[in-house]
Chains A and B, each alone.
Chain A
Amino acid sequence: MPEAPGAMPSGAARRPEPLTLRAAARVQRQVIGALLLRELSTRFGRENLGFLWLFLEPALLGGTIGLVHHLSGRGLPGGVDVLSFWVLGYIPFFLFRSVVNRAPVAIVSNQSLLYHRRITILDIMLARDLLEGAAVLGAMAVFVLAIGLATGTWPEQPAKLVLGMALMLVLAHGIGLLISAGSVYTEMFERITHMVTYLSLPILGSFFMVFWLPTEVQKMVLWMPTVHCFEIVRDGQFGSAVPTSYDVSYVLTCAALLNLFGLAALRKARRDMVV
């Protein structure tokens, strides 16, 4: 058969090795475990301020905005504590941004790992994002504790804080998969991702509550899956003190679709990439 340059690999769907699901799961556990340990030491090692920044940024940004509002004497609708509102609004965004912003270089900066056939791009992304999620969740716990001690208000439903963050992580992970797959073909993502995440800050849902908005606008912003995540977190923290609107199944559907397309894109990109 003459070669057909650029044609789809004829036998690519075939798995060359007889690998049971159980054995494959074991390998994946091993690999992700090893990647987690490596990531832990390179990102949060003694030599850099990774860990410190995790606390500093939400504290500085959320704290500053909260302080401005506090000094201006303007409270928030529903009588919610200003400082805890801004800090808790910033943390899920912080998670979203760090997962998405690191996606364009996720493959390039880990290219040497792909010499090991056992390590897939998905493993690399999973390890990074799981660690990021755990770290930011840890930071959130510290802030919630601090808020509780300072103001005496504790989360009404702590599980919803975790749920909101978990959904945000899965959404960001799916977007990250798509971006990292795209980065194999073009450098565009490396250039624009940071800008886009910053510019989208106002519409992601970090700094407004859905019930502040007119009904028409509410319907529009609820198309953004991230808006729901922030609302879930607020429901967990403030509970009945403020009305929140969200739909968990909508976020799950969005997250599932993003991840599905992300996996498909990554599969194609892996075949086309030059290591």
Chain B
Amino acid sequence: MSENPNNWPLWEVFIQSKRGLDHKHVGSLHAADAQMAIENARDVYTRRQEGQSIWVVPAVAISASQPDDAAMLFDPADDKTYRHPTFYQMPEGAKFI
């Protein structure tokens, strides 16, 4: 991406706000290496106790689906409502189900 070899690469940052929750993507930043990316992420994304754990991933390592493929990838789920519990009719009076 960058022509100048002294430009720090881009990292995507994921923060876990609390134990037990997912790490969630919060943004990106530039850093020379992973250690510095974590330290910078601490300063940029957790100044108000937003996190208790940080993941950083080189942006170039992320592969993403293309918007054009969205229909192919996600439409097949549209007509499969039987995958949801509300699809089923329960007999009157049955409990805990």
Partners in one complex: no
Q: Which residues of A contact B (CB under 8 A)?
A: none
Q: Which residues of B contact A (CB under 8 A)?
A: none
